[in-house]
């Protein structure tokens, strides 16, 4: 695929904290409407990569291009402008405890759009319905719903501004297998219905098979393999084989 069709282009990305090297020369391309799952043990740099993609941290060297723009040295103002088109689902959903479910979803609409209150509420209800939430939950606080439901609300909020890129940090972590599969289905639907480009950080290699087009496996701050699930299954690399069997993921 032509480089111009890549939504995200990462070149030689390095990031460290003091003496600790976290990312050591990451190169990655993500195409329009592609869902890429980034796998690896805890501490291998996956979540740091997401934070660099959303501008929450700054790389030591290397570049990140989003829709053809090098965002590596963006100012806070520039990042605020581009973040409007990037949805982020945090690992713990990161909902505001003092707001209701509905208010959590309308929050970005109130901040970034000129919608009326009625329009914001209508869109929030549509988004919550699209991720499988019931109308009876709208006035509840985040603490009154399950972890899986919180993830759904977080996803609805991430979609509020109609982003064209979605970033997920461990979307199925801590969920039972049935709920995890439902979240995976929602990720797949975002791609099919909205043609969204997604990067999903996860330990769940089996789940990643169901919703991703391509897998990327990281180890000690580097990408050691990328490709389709079937390619990973056939790999004779010892680390890749252990990870596919769940041994490395369980050790994370």
Number of domains the chain is built from: 2
Q: CA torsion angle for 168, 174, 179, 183 (degrees, to 10)?
A: 0
Is 27 in the same domain as 117? no
pLDDT of residue 227: 94
What is the reported pLDDT for 3?
53
Considering the domain architecture, whether residues 152 and 181 belong to the same structural domain is answered as no
Contact 187, 35 (CB under 8 A): yes
Q: Specify whether 215 is located in the same domain as 153.
A: no
The three-class DSSP label of residue 142 is helix
- Its sign, for the CA torsion 196, 197, 202, 206, is positive
127 falls within a domain: yes
Alpha-carbon dihedral 157, 162, 164, 165, rounded to 10 degrees: -10
| 102-158: pLDDT as tens digits | 999 999 999 899 999 999 999 999 999 988 887 788 999 999 998 888 988 999 999
Tell whether 156 and 183 lie within a shared domain: no
Q: Are residues 104 and 173 in the same domain?
A: no
Q: How far is CA 166 from CA 36, 42, 144, 211, in A?
A: 11, 21, 26, 13
Q: For residue range 2-30, what is the model confidence (pLDDT) as tens digits? A: 555 789 999 999 999 988 999 999 999 99
What's the whole-model pTM score? Answer: 0.88
As a whole number of angstroms, the distance between CA 116 and CA 54 comes to 28
Does 100 have pLDDT greater than 90?
Answer: yes
Question: Which whole number is the average pLDDT over 246-250?
Answer: 56
Which pLDDT tens digit goes with each residue over 39-81?
988 888 899 999 999 999 999 999 999 999 999 889 989 998 8
For 196, other C-beta atoms within 10 Å of its C-beta total: 22
pLDDT digits (tens, 9 = 90+) for 145-172: 988 889 889 999 999 999 999 999 988 8
126 and 173 inside one domain: no
Structural domain ending residue among the three candidates 109, 142, 162? 162
What are the distances in angstroms from CA 126 to CA 96, 102, 122, 135? Answer: 20, 11, 6, 10
Give me 8's structure tokens: 């995200």
Distance, CA of 26 to CA of 12 (rounded, Å): 5
Asked, for residue 90, whether it belongs to a domain, the answer is: no
Look at residues 142, 162, 182 and tell me which one is the last residue of a structural domain. 162
Same domain as 217, residue 170: yes
Among 222, 233, 236, 238, residue whose Cα is nearest residue 40: 222
C-alpha to C-alpha distance for 244 and 242, rounded to whole angstroms? 5
The per-residue pLDDT for 41 is: 84
Considering 162, 183, 200, which residue would you say is the last residue of a domain? 162
**Cβ neighbours for 8, distance < 8 A, ≥ 6 positions apart:** 28, 29, 30, 53, 64, 65, 66, 165, 197, 199
Residue range(s) defining the domain that contains residue 143: 96-162
């Amino acid at each position: 695929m032509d480089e111009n069709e890549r939504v995200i282009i990462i070149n030689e990305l390095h990031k460290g904290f003091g003496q600790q090297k976290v990312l050591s020369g990451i190169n990655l391309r993500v195409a329009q409407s592609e869902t890429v799952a980034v796998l690896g043990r805890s501490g291998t740099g996956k979540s740091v990569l997401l934070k660099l993609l959303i501008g929450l941290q700054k790389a030591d060297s290397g570049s990140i291009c989003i829709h053809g723009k090098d965002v590596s040295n963006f100012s806070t103002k520039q990042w605020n402008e581009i973040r409007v088109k990037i949805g982020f689902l945090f690992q713990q959903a990161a909902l505001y405890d003092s707001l209701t479910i509905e208010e959590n979803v309308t929050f970005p609409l109130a901040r970034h759009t000129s919608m009326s209150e009625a329009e914001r509420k209508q869109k929030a209800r549509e988004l919550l319905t699209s991720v499988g939430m019931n109308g009876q939950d709208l006035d509840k606080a985040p603490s009154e719903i399950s972890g899986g439901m919180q993830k759904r609300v977080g996803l609805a909020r991430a979609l509020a501004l109609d982003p064209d890129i979605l970033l997920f940090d461990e979307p199925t972590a801590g969920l039972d297998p049935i709920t995890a599969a439902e979240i995976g289905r929602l990720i797949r639907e975002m791609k099919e219905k909205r043609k969204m480009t997604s990067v999903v950080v996860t330990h769940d290699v089996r789940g990643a098979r169901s919703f991703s087009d391509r897998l990327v496996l990281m180890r000690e701050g580097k990408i050691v393999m990328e490709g389709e699930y079937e390619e990973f299954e056939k790999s004779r690399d010892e680390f890749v084989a252990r990870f596919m069997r769940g041994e490395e993921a369980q050790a994370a």
